[in-house]
């Protein structure tokens, strides 16, 4: 069976999935991750049914960086699982003003994507590293870049602009929005679950270590909490979220910090980690009795509520709210607390359904339907990759089994 490999590279891990192609349909076969890169490298992978295929620890010097981790995972797939993909799909965070849809990667495309590293320094270099590795080792293997910004590129000019001179916009300084692959999946999944609701005014909250929100109108992105970079909007695990630009000027001019030091601060030492002084992990904060942990959670909920009002304003109302990603999918207490904050919009939860993490968690008399829908960015990447690799396979996939 022909297969597609999906790679999602981070700063210290490479998540991967393998999809088989059967009569134009995608069948998920393997989920895996190479993690602990640079500290204690580990390769873990499971079959779709949950059977552990590998759980192996490596010497640190054997897997010093992301490209080495990809080679390690690739060797395991090839030598022990007999997986020889016909194409590789990659999550690439920033497509800039040029790329509003997935694209087959060439050396020229790769050079262009490198220009956007300053706009996503936490993600873009890691996203591109596996692409370079595969291009060098297997130059004939098709690779597809799928962008987190692409889903938002149909925003109106009013939503896209900052109030700065127009020539900056022409140069690419605009509000892009991120987590687009997640929102694309949720929009399609909601259309299958509740087609009439999906046509209306919906806010999706992608709440994880990286967090953002998206306003959907008729299944299309109308507005996003994130902007020019993935720093904007909600506070995140280690990122500050929305902040007065004057704070950045103050840190540089009055505190003597360099631009690099400020960048590191805003990406690595802020958010839940900075507020709590304890952890960037919501699970640890919820389990802690430290008042700083409680304050960080309060702040997170407060900002989500604020952005809900903003996005509802952009939509002109609200018919449904969707929780997704790690925190959104697995924290009933946070969902309950946010619902109280959103009661003015008519949000009312069924506490039993919420506690169980059911798909529909709103009460029968809630004015706003509330859903919990697990996201699946990898499936979206696999679908786009299959559609772009040519006529060898039908492109009309509808989902994975």
pLDDT, mean of residues 290-311? 98
Interval 339-374: pLDDT, tens: 999 999 999 999 999 999 999 999 999 999 999 999
3-state secondary structure 341-395: HCHHHCCCECHHHHHHCCCECECCCCCCEEEECCCCHHHHHHHHHHHHCCCCCCC
Q: Is the pLDDT of residue 11 over 70?
A: no
190 has pLDDT over 90: yes
Structure tokens at 294: 């409680």
5 beta partners:
18, 88
Check residue 392 and give its pLDDT. 45
pLDDT tens for 127-175 read: 998 899 899 989 999 999 999 999 999 999 999 999 999 999 998 999 9
Give the CA radius of gyration of the chain. 21
pLDDT tens for 254-294 read 999 999 999 999 999 999 999 999 999 999 999 999 999 99
Mean pLDDT confidence for 307-326: 97
% of the chain exceeding 90 in pLDDT: 82
Q: Determine the pLDDT at residue 121.
A: 83
Of 374, 325, 378, the C-alpha closest to 17 is: 378
**pLDDT tens-place string over residues 228-245:** 999 999 999 999 999 999
pTM of the model: 0.91
Structure tokens given for 269? 């030492």
Tell me the per-residue pLDDT of 71-112, one tens digit each, with 9 for 90 and over: 899 999 999 999 999 999 999 999 999 999 999 999 999 999
Q: How far is CA 373 from CA 221, 238, 325, 327, 367, in A?
A: 17, 24, 8, 12, 19
Active site residues: 148
pLDDT (tens digit per residue) in 351-360: 999 999 999 9
């Amino acid at each position: 069976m022909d297969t597609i490999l999906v790679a999602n590279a981070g700063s210290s891990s490479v998540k991967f999935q393998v999809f088989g192609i059967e009569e134009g349909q995608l069948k998920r076969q393997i989920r895996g991750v190479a993690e602990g890169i640079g500290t204690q490298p580990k390769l873990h992978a499971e079959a779709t049914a949950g059977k552990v295929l590998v759980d192996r620890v490596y010497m640190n010097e054997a897997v010093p960086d992301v490209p080495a981790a990809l080679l390690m995972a690739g060797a395991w797939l090839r030598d022990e699982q007999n997986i020889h993909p016909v194409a590789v799909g990659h999550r690439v965070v920033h497509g800039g003003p040029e790329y509003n849809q997935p694209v087959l990667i060439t050396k020229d495309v790769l050079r262009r994507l490198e220009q956007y590293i300053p706009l996503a320094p936490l993600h873009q270099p890691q996203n591109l590293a596996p692409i370079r590795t595969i291009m060098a080792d297997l130059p004939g293997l098709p690779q597809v870049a799928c962008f987190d910004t692409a889903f938002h590129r149909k925003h109106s000019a009013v939503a896209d602009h900052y109030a700065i001179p127009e020539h900056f916009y022409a140069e690419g300084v605009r509000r892009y929005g991120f987590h687009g692959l997640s929102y694309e999946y949720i929009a399609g999944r909601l259309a299958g679950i509740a087609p009439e609701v999906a046509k209306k005014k919906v806010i999706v909250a992608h709440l994880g270590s990286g967090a953002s929100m998206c306003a959907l109108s008729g299944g299309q992105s109308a507005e996003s909490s994130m902007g020019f970079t993935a720093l904007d909007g909600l506070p995140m695990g280690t990122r500050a979220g929305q902040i007065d630009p004057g704070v950045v000027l103050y840190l540089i001019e009055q505190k003597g910090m360099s631009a690099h030091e400020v960048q590191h601060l805003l990406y690595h030492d802020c958010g839940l980690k900075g507020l709590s002084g304890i952890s960037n992990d919501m699970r640890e904060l919820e389990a802690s009795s430290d008042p700083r942990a409680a304050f960080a959670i309060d702040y997170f909920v407060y900002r989500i509520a604020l952005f809900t009002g903003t996005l509802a304003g952009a939509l002109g109302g609200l018919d449904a709210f969707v929780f997704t990603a790690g925190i959104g999918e697995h924290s009933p207490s946070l969902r309950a607390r946010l619902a109280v904050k959103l009661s003015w919009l008519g949000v009312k939860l069924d506490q039993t359904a919420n506690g169980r993490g059911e798909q529909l968690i709103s009460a029968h008399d809630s004015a706003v339907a509330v859903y919990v829908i697990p996201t699946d960015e990898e499936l979206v990447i696999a679908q786009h990759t299959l559609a772009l690799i040519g006529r060898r396979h039908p492109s009309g996939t509808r989902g994975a089994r």
